[in-house]
Amino acid sequence: MRVAPAEYFGFLNEIKDVSLPSAHDFCAGVPAGTLLETTIMNPTTTSTSMLRGKELTRRVDIGALPKVLLHEHLDGGLRPATVIELAAELGYKGLPTTDPGDLADWFHRGAQKGNLPEYLEGFEHTIAVMQTPETLERVAFEFIEDMHRDGVVYAEVRFAPVYHTARGLTQEEVIRSVIRGLRRGEKTYGVEWGLIVCAMRHMKKSLEAAELAIRSRDEGVVGFDLAGGEEGFPPKKHVDAFQAIERANFNITIHAGEAFGPKSIWQALQFCGAHRLGHATRLRDDIEFLPDGTMKLGRLAQYILDRRVPLEMCLLSNLHTGACKDLESHPFGVFFRRGFRVCLNTDDRLMSDTTMTKETTLATEHFDLSLNELEKLSLNAMKSAFAHFDQRIRIIFDRIKPGFAAVRTRLAEEERQG
C-alpha cells in the first residue's frame, strides 16, 4: 500500500486526536513509497488488541513500552543514596537518617500525609544537597539514567533555580549545571529531554524566573511553570511573568486545579495563557454526572476538551497530596474515556515512591486500559510536549509507534504458536 507524504497525515494526526489508533495514525510519518504493514491490517491482532487491565500487565513488560514524561520535579526525584552521598560531600547535617532504605521510607511517609504543604516538606533536604555545579549536574544526569531504565524516550523535567543559590551560584549557573547533566545523560542513554523553569507562587520573583527561562531557551529550556501551593496564591498575581513568556512566543504550563478548584484552572488559562495544565484534578468539579450515566460538561471543561488542552495527571502524587482521596475518585479514567488529552506523569518520584512504569501499570490495572490506550497516552504526551514539532514527529514515528508495534508483533506471534 502506498501512503501520502508524512506532512499530510501528520497534520491530520494533530487535529483528530481519536481515542484509538486509526489508519491515519498508523500511516502518519511513513515516507512516501514505503510498504506499510500495521497491526490494523493484520487479522491475527484481533485478540491481542482485546488484552486489557491485569491480563495486559501479565503479558506485556510495561517497563519496556516507550513512555513520555512531561511532569516531574528535578528536586523531587533524587535517589535516596544520592541524597546521602551529596549531604556528606556538602557537610549537610539535616537528614533524618543516613541509611538509604530508611531515608526512602522517611520521604514516602512524609509524602502520604494527605495535604500539599506537608507533602512539600521533604524538599528541604533534596534542595539542600543541590547547591553546587557538581551536585546539580549529577542529579540531572541520574535523572536521565533513571528515565532510560524506566522506558522513557522523552522527558521534561522542571525546577525552580532560585532555590539553588544558597552557596553563591547565580541562577544562570544553576541552569547551566543542570543542562550539562541532562546533555551528558542524553549522550550516554539516548533519552531526549526539555527543561522547564518554575516560578514559585509565594514569591514575588516570577518575572525574573520568566526572563531567565526566555534567556535560556536556546540551551535546552523549553517552557515556564508556576508551582507551589495554590490556595492564597492565584495565578493571576503573576500575570506579568506570563505576558513576558507570551510576548517571547514561548511555552507555558501551570500547576492548577490540584489543591484548589476550577477557578484556579480558569485563571491559568484565561489570565495566564497556559498551554498545558499540571494536575487539573479539580476540573471534575465542572462536570455533572447525570442519572442516565452521561456527563454534562461545564463551560470550562468543554473549553478544555474542545481546545485539546493537555492535562498532566499524576496518580500517586494526587493521592498523597490529598487532591484525590483514592483511585476510585481520581478523574483520570473519566477524563481519558471522555476524550480529554490526558497523559500520565510521576510528579515527584522520590516523594511518591513511583516511576513511569509504576504509574502506567497502576492506570492499566485500575482503569482497565488496553495496549492501544497505552499507546494513545504516550502519543498524547508527545504531541503535547514543548519540543519543536519536527522533534515530536520524529520521536513518535521513530520511537513510540515502532515500540508498540514490536509488542503487538510479539503478542501475535505468541498466539500463533499457541
State the number of CA atoms in the 13 A half-sphere of 165 facing the CB: 9
Which grid cell sits at 215? 534567556
Q: 258, 365, 373, 375: which is the annotated catalytic residue?
A: 258
Q: Is 258 assigned a catalytic role?
A: yes
- Residues assigned a catalytic role: 258
